[in-house]
Each structure stands twice: as C-alpha cells, then as structure tokens.
Amino acid sequence: MEGSSSQNGSSSSNTIPEIHDSVFPYKTVSHENYFNNSILLKLEEDGFTTPDEKAEELIKRLTNIKYLYALKLLFENLQNEFSPQILRDTLVALADPTPFDFYAKQSVTRLELHLRTWVTVLERICFSPIVLSKELRDKVYNSLSKFAEIHRKTTQVIEIGLDNNFRSKFNQFNKQSNNQDDQIITKKQIIP
C-alpha cells in the first residue's frame, strides 16, 4: 500500500510543476511577446496577414533591431508556416554580413540577435521540405567565418572603448594642424 500511495500522483505532481516552472514560462513569454509585438501588430493592420508576407516585409529592415526581433518572433512561432522561397530569402538576407561594417553601443546586441534569428531560420529550414543548393550552403557556411571575425572585432572595439576611434585620430590631426599653424605664425613673425 505504501508503494501504491507513493504512486498516487503526489511525487509526479511535485515534478511536473518544477518542469512547468522552468521550461514553459520562457515559451509563454515568447508566445506573449509574439502577440504583443508592435511591429507584427502594425504589419497585420497594414494588410500583411500571412507569415510569408510579414517575413518578406521584415527582411527589408534587418538593420533595425526592432524589426530583427519581430522576425525572430515570427520564425519562433511554430504555428507559422513559411514557403521554401521565404525560408531561402530570409536565410540569404541573414547570411549577409555587410550591415555590420561599423561599431556602436548596440553592435553586440544587434549581432547576437542577428545570429539567434539566423539559427532560428536554419532550424526551420532543417525541419522543412527544402533542400538547399551546394552553392547556397557554401555561401552560408563561408559567411559564418565572416561573422566570427565581426564578433572578434566588435568585442575588441568594445573592450578598447568606443571613444578611442576616428575622433581621437582626428583630434591628433587637429593638434598637428594647430602646431603647424603656430609654426607658420611664428615664421611670419620672424620674417618681416
């Protein structure tokens, strides 16, 4: 009887809330974020009703962190189904490292969100009936090394500090220019 009383569900009910508390709130928050995301709501109001239409519109503005986050939420929602063309177009857009040709305070955040969105799209492709060409796979693979280099440089710039940039070199140039101006004025004063 004691064995049956321990199996009456009390032990399993103790473990289920632990699993529920640790796993499901993240999914719930993500799910709530999806439906409360102002960008996705605005797209819906503007007539972009299908996930493909929304993704196509969001791809155009990947440099804006709000649109990038909305794209990530769109692909994380497993209820959304995407056409192979949109999956391919999104993958190509996210594999492009050219928007990361400058460094700012948001660079690290934007880079991390960009990479997480990219992984989300790759996961969707893995579970979709789509086969990528060797050229596209190579392009995506090669861009990984570019993003690794961008990450390294971004980290280096952030560690050095954003104030030690072109402005400091420009200030040194101004000091040299001022010194040259002073020398010219001195020479003009010496030469009558």
Phi, psi of 8 (to 5 degrees): -75, 5
**Enclosing domain of residue 23:** 1-36
116 within a domain of the structure (yes/no):
yes
Helices (H), 37-133: 38-45, 51-59, 65-76, 84-94, 107-126
In this structure, are 71 and 149 located in the same domain? yes
In a domain, 114, yes or no: yes
Backbone angles phi, psi at 59, to 5 degrees: -60, -30
Per-residue pLDDT tens, the chain, 192 aa: give them. Answer: 444 444 444 444 433 334 334 333 334 445 556 556 889 999 999 999 999 999 999 999 999 999 999 999 999 999 999 999 999 999 999 999 999 988 888 888 999 999 999 999 999 999 999 999 999 999 999 999 999 999 999 888 888 886 665 555 555 545 555 566 666 665 555 665
CB 120 within 8 A of CB 162: no
Within-domain flag for 138? yes
- Greatest distance between any 2 Cα atoms in the chain: 116
**Structural domains of the chain, count:** 2
Identify the pLDDT of residue 107. 86
Would you state the structure tokens that stand for residue 191, as one six-digit string? 């030469």
Helix (H, G, I), strand (E, B) or coil at 102: coil
Instruction: Give CA–CA dist 29/22, Å, rounded.
Output: 12
Per the listing, tokens 């594999």 go with 95
Residue 97 lies in a domain: yes
Residue 184 lies in a domain: no
pLDDT of 123 reads: 95
Q: Is the Cβ–Cβ distance between 122 and 90 less than 8 Å?
A: no
State residue 71's pLDDT score.
96
**Residue 119, domain member (yes or no):** yes
Both 25 and 62 in a single domain? Answer: no
Threshold 0.85, pTM exceeds: no
- Whether 121 is in a domain gets the answer yes
**Sequence-separated (6 or more) residues with CB below 8 Å from residue 30:** 73, 76
